[in-house]
Structure 1
Amino acid sequence: MVDWDLAGRTARRLVGPGPQTTREEAAAVVRELHEAAATAVAHVEGLTGLSPVPGGPVPEVAVVDRPGWVDANTQGMSALLDPLVDALAARQDSRPGPLATAIGSRATGVQAGGVLAFLSSRVLGQYEVFGTGGRLLLVAPNIVDAERRLGVDPSDFRLWVCLHEVTHQLQFSAVPWLKDHLEAQMAEFVEATDLDPDVLRDRLGDVLRSVLDAARGADGGDDAGLMALVQDPAQRAVLDRVTAVMSLVEGHAEYVMDGVGPDVVPSVRTLRKRFAQRRKGRGPIDRVLRRLLGLEQKMKQYAEGRVFVGGVVDLVGMEGFNRVWEGPENLPRIEELTDPARWVERVHGRPAIPA
């Protein structure tokens, strides 16, 4: 369905070069990011109370440029999505011929390449869950570009970013069932999929109208972007579960990167204030693409997940919060994200009383 090789080539042609640095400056950035990632591990483990499963694989830390991020994500998306697409195609009553398949895969490859090019200049870091068996990516030119635009201390900012990404690394290395759970949810999503071209066309029209509103600077509307195409109740139920999990892991990382405090990152409060402004987007094109890709929904995940984690820790402490990692049944439900006391009562079996 997607020509991932073409997607990668397209993205590499479209991606911007990044900020200007000398060879010596670039080498120093790479070295400091590796050091910051190593330093972050002890702080994250100390604050969360989590530790990797003994004998598990040692996650790799890779400092990459924008094309390197593109290559990693084309491989990861192919490893995740191709088996699901094959399963979906096998359920269809009729299949397109070889020519139609080739044309369609190239068209979607170009589209996917455009999306990857857009994201490659914005992503600061990423923990690869699928495809590589676990690898932490730090996108050096984007980190340098962000710290320059924000006017913040580079060493503080680099450690602050690493705290976020190392938290994701720890989540999946300390809770090995989490990856399997997400893969199972994706498979269930495909199982619930029933494509009807006419219905899909109508839904796409709604999405495009929402995108045009974003271009005009209008507030409100559906921020789900292309995810708004998913309206089947069974799919929505799966999507709600996945959204709750992703809100949890993102909110947990947000909690950690702020929770270490000024003793570890002296300018942490300044970083949070200025970084929050950065997440609001830049110009009309940025707003359009953020709406289309559902990135506004991503920002909502950060906010709601942060509220959930902080609320639960306030009520039952970090040890009580860590019961969330005991099994899928303890993961928050989507309605609990904004009402942590409901999760505490369900999982701990008692009404939530502030500590």
Structure 2
Amino acid sequence: MRGCVIHGAGDLRVEELPEPVAGPGRAVVAVRYGGVCGSDLHYWRHGGVGDFLLSEPMVLGHEVVGTVVAYGEGADGPAPGTQVAVHPATPCGACPECLDGRANVCRDTRYLGSAARTPHVQGGFAARIAVPAGQLRALPAGLGLRRAALAEPLSVALHAVRRAGPVEGRHVLVTGAGPIGALVVAALRAAGAAAVTVTDLLPRALEFAAAAGATTLVRAGDPADPGLPDEVDTAIEASGSAAGLDTCLRSVRRGGAVVQLGMLPPGMSPFAGNLVVSREIELRGALRFDVEFDGAIELLAREDSFDALVSAVVPVEQAVEAFALAADRSRSCKVLLDFGA
């Protein structure tokens, strides 16, 4: 079967892989679509994500949907033939964070397509994968696999909005209109935000943010743009840049909250720390998600506007071209790999 394997920076290969076996407690899923994530692009471009570096070949991918094929001994879940989304995380369930209800920051989690541990956790970009049966979520009636492929990144966005606190009736700033930033916009509107201002360097990215429901678009760095509002209630930084964080800190009201969602470059990042003190701003991190995965599936089933954020579907045989397209935000939002029926 076909799979997308990263061997090092710039070395992505579509290879023939052995068919997986449904071992005890596990399920085999025939993958139909896999969304190319920013972390996948980091592995492709740099051979790692932050401090997590490749030390062996790894199947990429953690945004996958497909159809249940079979179960192993002692496993149970949606019946074979059911279309499902795959939750990519397997937390340990025993560490202090898991016991405190924060499984998304589990210190011993396993996450599809991650080099955070060795041996690496092989990912979901393969025609068939074997995963713990508890990670499967049956899709509700009316939700097709193409839109359902957004469940994982939408879960990230929902968790960030949850970390921001109450947003109903409020004005929220989002810096960065990549796929996650656009999904944050959609999550904010679903949560009742009265206004969502989005900044980005690229006009095309701002178009996707508008499709997701942004009320004000700001072209960062463009002197002709009227610029940011004087003040917002809350800000979510989704660009992964120090400049984006600075914009959030300088724009949020006194006593407001800033959520750092985008992964900043490794090492030290300068930021306006004195504003955190003098304005008593709450600076919060947001990592992945947990129970939000189920909420993301429900929201996707209700709203067809998410379809506009899937900008391309590319056959797996053209994976390298798909990655190049996903890396070019002037042309794309969410790019899906198609593994066939």
Question: TM-score, normalization: structure 2?
Answer: 0.26
Normalised to the residue count of structure 1, the TM-score between the two structures is 0.25
Q: Which has the higher helix share?
A: 1
